[in-house]
């Protein structure tokens, strides 16, 4: 049911508060981020007596970093898409929160490049984690803002949907912190924890969508 408690806007104000341009901007920035990520993977030059297979192992850390970053950016985009599917109007606070979110997300290629180049350095994993944590906090802030201002939505979220959204937003942040905490001890374990976040998210969505009884919850997740 549509939310009739939204602001009473003039036609000009409605055009200004339309979320479409902000959504298009977000989609465009994320598309550019993914493009930059893949451009960091280069075909290695063969040294004297070196086989292509040997050379490809040199770019393996960069490829792993690309796949991880692609999955995480894809997760952020899916969550953003699901959130804005429910948005009827935006205000200046939403615009600035979204711009800050994109500002941090635009740093992912830099953090991914550092991780690919220095895959066994804990500092690279710390940098990667900080970027992901801040992006997650800003994504959570956007969701919480809409929950506190239901007039901006087409319909108010149910308490169960709000709880589910809050829990799924905090879980990755906790895992990011743990991945950073173990980086000094094992960089490989740290990377496994980073990978576990998007894999678990997309697996959960697929599982929930496979059952008609939980399909609504899956839609809330993306």
The answer to whether residue 2 is domain-embedded is: no
* pLDDT tier, 172 (very low <50, low <70, confident <90, very high otherwise): very high
Instruction: Name the more confident of 30 and 60.
Output: 30
Give ∠ CA 132-78-188 in degrees, rounded to 5.
40
For residue 1, what pLDDT is reported?
40
CB 183 within 8 A of CB 135: no
Which residue range(s) make up the domain with 164? 11-221
Q: Distance between CA atoms of 16 and 21, rounded to whole angstroms?
A: 9
**For the chain, how many structural domains are there in total?**
1
The answer to whether residue 1 is domain-embedded is: no
Does the pLDDT at position 159 exceed 70? no
What is the arithmetic mean of pLDDT over 198-210? 83
For residue 189, what pLDDT is reported?
97
Mean pLDDT of the residues in the chain: 85
The answer to whether residue 154 is domain-embedded is: yes
Give me the phi and psi of 87, to 5 degrees please: -90, 130
For residue 13, what pLDDT is reported?
59
CB 149 within 8 A of CB 141: no
The answer to whether residue 5 is domain-embedded is: no
């Amino acid at each position: 049911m549509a939310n009739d408690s939204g602001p009473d806007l003039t036609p000009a104000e409605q055009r200004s508060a339309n979320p479409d341009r902000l959504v298009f901007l977000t989609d465009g920035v994320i598309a550019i981020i993914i493009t930059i990520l893949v451009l960091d993977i280069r075909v290695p030059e063969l040294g004297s007596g070196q086989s292509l297979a040997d050379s490809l192992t040199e770019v393996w850390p960069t490829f792993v970093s690309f796949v991880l970053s692609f999955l995480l950016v894809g997760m952020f985009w899916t969550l953003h898409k699901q959130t804005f599917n429910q948005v009827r109007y935006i205000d200046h606070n939403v615009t600035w929160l979204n711009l800050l979110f994109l500002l941090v997300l635009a740093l992912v290629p830099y953090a991914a490049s550092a991780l690919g180049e220095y895959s066994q350095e804990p500092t690279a994993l710390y940098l990667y984690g900080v970027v992901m944590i801040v992006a997650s906090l800003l994504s959570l802030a956007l969701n919480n803002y809409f929950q506190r201002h239901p007039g901006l939505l087409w319909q108010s979220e149910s308490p169960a949907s709000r709880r589910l959204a809050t829990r799924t937003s905090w879980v990755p942040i906790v895992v990011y912190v743990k991945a950073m905490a173990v980086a000094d001890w094992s960089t490989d374990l740290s990377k496994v924890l980073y990978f576990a976040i998007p894999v678990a998210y997309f697996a959960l969505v697929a599982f929930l969508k496979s059952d008609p009884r939980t399909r609504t919850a899956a839609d809330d997740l993306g």
